[in-house]
């Protein structure tokens, strides 16, 4: 994607959604960190459903320690991998209390030292809580980056590095949200809804679905061999 097209790409996304935000619900930075940690391999909707009652009583790392691991499990048992996540969240709370005065550090390297916090989670927290120009590459951003030609890469880190180089001001802080939302609601995994995409003309994806109800070109091609086999078998 050319530099001018990249600027126009984000200009249009920004025009459609001037103030993008994460869909995870939280009241402070610590709750955001917990929510993002719980969201790994889970939906934001599912995490929000589980954390609404949890966050009514847990607002600080010390509150989490007071609740205890078994108490936490009761709140998050509907979330995938809740047992291992509960262990990580409790260990994280202990470190935050003993080493960081109960505060979430505004430093990506320090965040990734916490149990259960990888680079993606740290990038989300840095972006949402501290306004850092970070790009948390989840499955949606990975797909959009590669499909559109905005930032191609075989790994999330490669796509992240591509975005760091290519996303221009004044879109760098909001880019993470625009790309996630675009991937979640428009540039979907199975069938991208190109017929109502506001940046379809800037996208280099060859498998565009330009009519609602149509099948992706790849899906149409995939059925051809089966049809030919059926014809051959009927002649036998």
Catalytic member of 73, 87, 120, 235: 120
What's the rounded Cα separation, in Å, for the pair 236 and 234? 6
The verdict on whether 120 is a catalytic residue reads yes
H and E: helices and strands count for the chain: 12, 0
Neighbours of 101 (CB within 10 A): 9
Q: Residues within the annotated binding site for [4Fe-4S] cluster?
A: 187, 194, 197, 203
Q: Which amino acids are annotated as binding site, given as ranges? A: 187, 194, 197, 203
CB < 8 Å & 24+ apart, contacts of 169-174: 171/7, 171/10, 171/11, 171/14, 172/133, 173/127, 173/131, 173/132, 173/133, 174/14, 174/20
Name the active-site residue from 5, 44, 53, 138.
138
Annotated catalytic residues are 120, 138
């Amino acid at each position: 994607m050319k530099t001018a097209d990249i600027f126009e790409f984000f200009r249009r996304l920004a025009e459609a959604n001037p103030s993008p935000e994460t869909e995870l619900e939280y009241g402070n930075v610590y709750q955001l960190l917990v929510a993002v940690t719980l969201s790994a391999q889970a939906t934001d909707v599912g995490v929000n459903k589980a954390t609404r009652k949890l966050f009514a009583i847990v607002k600080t790392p010390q509150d989490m320690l007071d609740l205890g691991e078994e108490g936490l499990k009761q709140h998050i048992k509907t979330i995938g991998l809740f047992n291992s996540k509960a262990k990580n969240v409790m260990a994280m709370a202990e470190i935050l209390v003993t080493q960081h005065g109960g505060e979430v550090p505004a430093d990506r390297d320090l965040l990734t030292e916490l149990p259960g916090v990888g680079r993606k989670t740290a990038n989300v927290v840095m972006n949402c809580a501290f306004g850092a120009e970070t790009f948390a590459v989840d499955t949606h951003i990975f797909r959009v980056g590669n499909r559109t030609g905005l930032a191609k890469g075989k790994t999330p880190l490669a796509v992240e590095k591509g975005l760091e180089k290519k996303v221009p001001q004044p879109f760098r802080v909001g880019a993470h949200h625009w790309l996630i939302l675009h991937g979640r609601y428009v540039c979907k995994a199975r069938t991208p809804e190109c017929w109502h995409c506001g940046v379809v003309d800037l996208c280099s994806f060859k498998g565009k679905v330009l009519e609602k109800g149509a099948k992706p070109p790849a899906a149409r091609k995939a059925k051809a061999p089966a049809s030919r086999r059926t014809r051959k078998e009927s002649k036998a």
